Amino acid sequence: MKLLLKGGRLVDPANGRDGAFDVLVEDGRIARVGRDLPADGAEVFAVKPGWIVVPGLIDMHVHLREPGQEHKETVATGTASAVAGGFTAVACMPNTDPVNDHPGVTDLILKKAAEAGLARVYPVGAVSMGSRGEQLAELAAQRDAGCVAFSDDGRPVATALLMRRALEYASMLGVPIIDHCEDQTLKGDGVAHDGFHAARLGLRGIPGVAESIMVERDIALAELTGGALHVAHTSARQSLRAVRDAKARGAKVTCEVAPHHFVLTDEALGEPIAYDTNVKMNPPLREAADRDAMIEGLVDGTVDAIATDHAPHHADEKLVEFDRAPFGIVGLETCVPLVFDRLVHAGRIGARRAIELLSVNPARVLGLPGGTLAEGAPADITIIAPDMSVTVRAAALRSKSKNTPFDGWTLKGAVVATIVGGNVVYARER
Ligand SMILES: [Zn+2]
């Protein structure tokens, strides 16, 4: 089967291409990239002027909730949400029930992903058994089963000794540790950023340094061990400064930022709706200086990846008082509109940098085959209409959960089609 993507603008940073190129897909791979390619029996996908053709987007931080919490999301509904959001691959965190600390769980997730046949799914294994922070999980067996990184995400690795051992073992296996940075003694029972808005609303605060203290500790351990450390969902300006300094010293440290942390601030705690549980996430929405620091990091290269931290929760779980609601929001289907509207159209970054953050760098950090439209690479491709306006409708999301603070927002930047292994797995209805 042959497919020709004809027209539009190709943005392929990994191969230094940006311009009017057609892409011929054959047997699930990129067969040719060139100008004015002949159809030659291929099915033709007409890419309209102004649309961009990019290497498939990769979200390196999602929660698919299966096994154990299928009322929030399943591998099938999560990957349906992923491809509707332009993602051809996702890395899923191990805080399922049971925790993914065993090849049996990794196998199950991979089997469910193959059955769904939508986005590629790369499991992230737990650092410790049950993510309890006591005993290291069987990292080698998990790597062999298909895990691409290790993390106790949802919880920090509390002791420096366990983090040291994890970095040492992961480094021998050639994979990174993804670090959920949080000093739990400083976080306490906080529910929102420790600042003016939380104080005004009577919410207990979580200071930015509850994050950055652990970022600094784990950078020190990465430098001690030579292991690769990836800081998840960076939200505090102090954390970003630590990563920037570490990179300048040549440490093997990378980091990601979630769209809500470069779009929203803790002002959303009070308006338009006070105590809206859809603005409760961990790490919390921080103050304007933190949000601005995230944007600066996205612009200057300190930030490697944009990852959504897609965290589905059932409506009933979020329909409680702010203190009792679970942390997290869904993010897969709002990411591209937010990136294009708030970063690209706002003149902060160009389309090329956006694709580095959403595809090239996640592939590099996790050692995945994607992030490139080189001839011979898997035909994982996303087509985006940067100028098309979309209005987010929570009820219409493909995700099983609808917990988004962006309901009703109109944004410029839409996913037109998502192609995985040469198959069109998502196409926007006209
Ligand atoms: Zn986390």
Element counts in the chain: helices (H) and strands (E): 14, 19
Q: What is the mean pLDDT of residues 181-193?
A: 97
**What does the alpha-carbon distance between residue 242 and residue 94 come to, in Å, rounded to a whole number?**
26
pLDDT tens, position by position, 150-165: 999 999 999 999 999 9
Residue 232 CA, ligand 1 centroid: distance in Å = 6
Q: What is the mean pLDDT of residues 316-327?
A: 96
**Catalytic positions:** 309
Residue 317 CA, ligand 1 centroid: distance in Å = 19
Q: Is the pLDDT of residue 315 over 70?
A: yes
The sign one gets for the Cα dihedral 416, 419, 423, 425 is: negative
Alpha helices in 147-306 (DSSP H): 160-173, 184-187, 196-201, 209-225, 237-248, 259-263, 288-300
pTM: 0.98
pLDDT tens, position by position, 366-408: 999 999 999 999 999 999 999 999 999 999 999 999 999 999 9
**What does the alpha-carbon distance between residue 89 and residue 105 come to, in Å, rounded to a whole number?**
19
pLDDT tens, position by position, 202-254: 999 999 999 999 999 999 999 999 999 999 999 999 999 999 999 999 999 99
Q: Is the pLDDT of residue 429 over 80?
A: no
Q: Is the pLDDT of residue 268 over 80?
A: yes
Residues, Cβ < 5 Å to ion ligand 1: 153, 180
Residue 182 CA, ligand 1 centroid: distance in Å = 9
Residue 233 CA, ligand 1 centroid: distance in Å = 7
pLDDT tens, position by position, 18-72: 999 999 999 999 999 999 999 999 999 999 999 999 999 999 999 999 999 999 9
3-state DSSP percent of the chain in helix, strand and coil, to 5: 35, 25, 40
Q: What is the mean pLDDT of residues 182-200?
A: 97
Residue 181 CA, ligand 1 centroid: distance in Å = 8
**What does the alpha-carbon distance between residue 185 and residue 209 come to, in Å, rounded to a whole number?**
11
pLDDT confidence of residue 1: 85
Residue 107 CA, ligand 1 centroid: distance in Å = 23
Q: Is the pLDDT of residue 14 over 70?
A: yes
Q: What is the mean pLDDT of the chain?
A: 97
Q: What is the mean pLDDT of residues 333-348?
A: 98
pLDDT confidence of residue 430: 55
Residue 408 CA, ligand 1 centroid: distance in Å = 27
pLDDT: which is higher, 430 or 346: 346
